[in-house]
Structure 1
């Protein structure tokens, strides 16, 4: 977890979602968007009692480990919330509006602590052999139709060799 900048979270039989996090006093804190703002969308995570955390290996095409965690929401304005928010602020890449970021997080997002339960579901030598392939999620994107004609392209017909 020390070298991972991103983890995959899975809860309530949903599709795993990527999430950036920060380590704060031995716990892992995640910022979850509450109302469709510009932060990371993790819908329903605040109400989930437990979550599975998958740590990717470098390169991020494989799993390194997987463990279970309990989810706890931090109360905005508390000392624990302020400490966690300051650490998360340094980990947040490409943040817009740094001067109002903490105020925006108090009103539009939830700071969640992922507390390890001690159950390691996958680790070196104990990987689940099932396929993790999933169908792509739905999207309103479509193709434009037939490809346009391109001039000066080599002909697909080749002359006969004699």
Structure 2
């Protein structure tokens, strides 16, 4: 009898903790989406049409790629630069077609960032070789992805 009471209590605790975790995940997703919406609104209010005109240079996919690389290298975070681009798209300042090369550039900018981070192991030769090799694998994946997908995206933009 005592085992059943302990088992029921542990099942109740399990259900409570699982429910709280699910609520926590849903609340976190809601706060993230609300933050993106607020960022898009702030770009719209602060920049107005002037900020939108700043990003008209991204009509060329190569330029958009370079803007994404530069933005990511400056902020040292592809998540931040991608969130900014998503906010601009949400605010209507950048079109989805122009945002795709910028996000590809953000992924390429990550390659620069991870190479810089791998240099932190410069004091230990073996660690540097391993860190730089790992960074290079990531760099090549991003470069090959862009080499394959960017011409396709440029062709898609021209045909529209």
TM over 0.5: no
Question: Which is strand-richer, 1 or 2?
Answer: 1
TM-score range (shorter-chain normalised) is under 0.3
TM-score, scaled to structure 2: 0.23
Higher relative contact order (CA 8 A, sep 6+): 1
TM-score w.r.t. structure 1 length? Answer: 0.22
Greater helix percent: which structure?
2
